[in-house]
């Protein structure tokens, strides 16, 4: 599939927005005490990456007619939640991963105890960002954002998905279970990105529903592509251990559906996602380009 | 020191309030998925205990002239934060404790992975309780409560205290460091109990300040007594492994100050705590009795 270039400069938007996010992430962590906690939190939060989630959040705020700078603390909160889930999932007690974004995982550098606690600290800081560090936003909107984040980060979202995932390791898993895991481990947070961004702008239920459909589509597509890349990319390119799903005998889309069908499904999902927000015309440009960007990523 | 019996029926208040809390805790957890996550969350959250923290929260709401039922979701959130910190602290990667409240620790029953995730789920549920499940409270007050909880649960509170504690294990620690650890690991959350309860009721700064002084006093006293009990109680009575501090060569108050001086200090701290809220007269009855209750506990 070819990359869609919109008439507006998406690359520029991406670059500028990423810069805003990186600065806000850097600023979100203070001196912290003790020093090793500070280092561990910074190590993972400022480890680079595409920052797709916070960008989705700001782009949705724009689409909903809001001033995106008002959504920056929420975007940072989302990246903190994402980061803490990676730190905890990588632990020896869970996925036991040594590499993440091309570098040793947090517990490999700081030990399991500090890694667990740095994750806890990032999770709580996320709620601090929205409750105390989001000036200029209506308190009811902020409460809704906090509610949304508490649901997707917890048992009904990331945590529940991860427990089901752990339970399924080494077992035969059907497509329904696989999608359950992905909808909770990946989809829930992506949905929260677009919904919270729009909530900050006071979006109505119709738009929130369209954004939910959009996020479910790209969320699942994102995961299918992750499965594909685990098979086709090198560890170096991937920035994490490649072929790990195969080694762990994990059920993946390519394994269940075959490579071609998996690719087709990812493509269809992205098309469906884009269609959901088409009614918003040019205002949806960022999100439409982001959907393509996510599906065309080569790592 | 003798138990102070106020003219009103403290035992009755304690019993009734604990019942309210237990019911709210039970109700705060839903079906959850998968089943093992639900069991693990319930195992630790509904493990009994004195429920001192949520009771402090409701008592402070009353003192501040609020309807205590409005503070119940916040009280539940605090117990969830407390419980998650116990689950994570007990992990083999941290304090490696096998017993808690007379039963095997969470990870001993459900494994490290589920224990970590159950803790994460309780932490996020805490923020859900305040943001989405606290009807009838002014949104600005709820945001302040969420802010307070995010600070005490994270790097500036529980997490920071635990990291410093881990760093100090097996080392000679001076009184300043010991108090730093206790103020963060125990004091911060106790302070949040009384402050958030009062915030729900819209307390002014003067009362919040008095409650802060109160909580700092009983927080430190609580910890000194914990150190004393670790030396003098049996594991059975304590409900956790006794003599562990000594075995781990941890610095404790009795070790630094001697047993008698430690007891005297705890007593003085409680007196100071009670003095801070005396100006509120009979309205402070619950909290004054609670201060005594905490210092007279024999397990």
Q: Could you tell me the CATH number of the domain that includes residue B26?
A: 1.10.600.10
Name A103's bridge partners.
A100
> Is B112 in Cβ contact with A154 (below 8 Å)?
no
Contact A14, A55 (CB under 8 A): yes
Q: CA B69 to CA A109: how far, in whole Å?
A: 46
Phi and psi based region of residue B102 (left: phi greater than 0; alpha: psi -120 to 50; beta: remaining): left
Residue A284 lies in a domain: yes
Give the whole-angstrom CA distance, residue A89 versus residue A93: 8
Are A166 and B131 within 8 A, CB to CB?
A: no
- The span from the CA of A54 to the CA of A26, in Å, is 14
Environment class of A60 (CB within 10 Å of its CB; exposed 0-12, middle 13-18, buried 19+) = buried
In a domain, B70, yes or no: yes
Sort out which chain B residues have CB atoms less than 8 A from A131's CB and list them. Answer: 143-144, 146-147, 150
Quick one: how far is CA B76 from the chain centroid?
Answer: 11
Residue B35 CA, chain-centre distance (Å), reads: 28
* Domain assignment present for A201: yes
Q: Is-contact B125 A155, C-beta < 8 A?
A: yes
State the count of interchain CB pairs (< 8 A) between A and B: 170
Q: Does B88 contact A128 at a Cβ distance shorter than 8 Å?
A: no
Tokens of A121: 């600290």
A167: which 2 tokens?
């339970």
Q: Two tokens at A285?
A: 């440009």
Local confidence pLDDT in tens for the 299 residues of chain A: 445 554 579 999 999 999 999 999 999 999 999 999 999 999 999 999 999 999 999 999 999 999 999 999 999 999 999 999 999 999 999 999 999 989 999 999 999 999 999 999 999 999 999 999 999 999 999 999 999 999 999 999 999 999 999 999 888 899 999 999 999 999 999 999 999 999 999 999 999 999 999 999 999 998 899 889 888 876 666 666 666 666 666 778 998 999 999 999 999 999 999 999 999 999 999 999 999 998 776 54
Tens of pLDDT, residue by residue over B239-277, are 666 666 666 667 789 989 999 999 999 999 999 999 999
Can you tell me the ipTM of this complex?
A: 0.93
Which residue blocks in A174-284 are alpha helix, DSSP H?
A: 175-182, 188-200, 205-232, 235-238, 244-247, 253-257, 259-277
Task: Select from B120, B127, B160 the Cβ nearest to the Cβ of A159.
Answer: B120
CA A299, CA A92: separation in Å to the nearest integer?
A: 24
Residue in A121, A153, A163 closest to B159 by CB:
A121
- Residue A1: inside a domain: no
> CA A9, CA A221: separation in Å to the nearest integer?
24
Residue B235 maps to a domain: no
Minimum distance, in Å, between the CA of residue B196 and any CA atom of chain A? 14
Q: Which tokens hold the place of B177? A: 């460091």
Provide the pLDDT for residue A139: 98
Helix (H) or strand (E) holding B254: helix B253-257
Among A31, A87, A113, pick the best mutation site for testing chain B contact (most B Cβ within 10 A).
A113
Look up the domain containing A241 and give its range. 10-296
Question: Has residue B139 been placed in a domain?
Answer: yes
- Residue A224 belongs to a domain: yes
| Number of folded domains that form chain A | 1
- Residue A100 contacts residue A86 (beta carbons within 8 Å): yes
Torsion of Cα atoms, A137 then A143 then A145 then A150, to 10°: 150
Q: Please give the structure tokens belonging to residue A251.
A: 């059920």
Q: Can you tell me the distance from the alpha carbon of B87 to that of A203, in angstroms, rounded to the nearest whole number? A: 39
Residue B278 lies in a domain: no
Residue B34: which of A117, A130, A164 has the nearest Cβ? A164
Token pair 């604990």 is at which residue? B18
Q: What is the DSSP letter of A156?
A: T
Residue A185: DSSP 8-state = I
Residue percentage of chain B with pLDDT more than 70: 91
Place of tokens 């097996």: B170
């Amino acid at each position: 599939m070819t990359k869609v270039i919109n008439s507006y400069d998406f690359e520029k938007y991406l670059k500028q927005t990423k810069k805003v996010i990186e600065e806000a992430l850097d600023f979100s962590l203070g001196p912290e005490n003790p020093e090793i906690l500070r280092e561990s939190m910074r190590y993972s939060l400022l480890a680079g990456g595409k920052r797709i989630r916070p960008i989705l959040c700001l782009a949705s705020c724009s689409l909903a007619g809001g001033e995106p700078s008002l959504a920056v603390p929420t975007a940072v909160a989302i990246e903190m939640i994402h980061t803490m889930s990676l730190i905890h999932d990588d632990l020896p007690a869970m996925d036991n991963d040594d590499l993440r974004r091309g570098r040793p995982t947090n517990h490999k550098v700081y030990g399991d105890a500090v890694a667990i606690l740095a994750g806890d600290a990032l999770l709580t800081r996320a709620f601090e960002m929205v409750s105390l560090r989001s000036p200029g936003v209506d308190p009811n909107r902020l409460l809704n954002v906090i509610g949304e984040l508490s649901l997707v980060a917890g048992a009904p979202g990331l945590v529940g998905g991860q427990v089901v995932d752990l339970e399924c390791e080494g077992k035969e898993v059907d497509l329904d279970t696989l999608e359950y895991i992905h909808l909770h481990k990946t989809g829930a947070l992506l949905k929260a990105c677009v919904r919270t961004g729009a909530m900050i702008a006071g979006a109505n239920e119709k738009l929130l529903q369209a954004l939910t459909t959009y996020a479910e589509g790209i969320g699942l597509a994102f995961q299918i592509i992750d499965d594909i890349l685990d098979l086709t990319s090198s560890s170096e390119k991937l920035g994490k251990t490649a072929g790990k799903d195969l080694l762990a005998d994990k059920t993946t889309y390519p394994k269940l559906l075959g490579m071609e069908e998996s690719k087709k499904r990812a493509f269809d999902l992205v098309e469906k996602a884009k269609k959901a927000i088409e009614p918003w015309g040019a205002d949806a440009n960022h999100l439409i380009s982001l959907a393509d960007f996510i599906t065309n990523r080569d790592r």
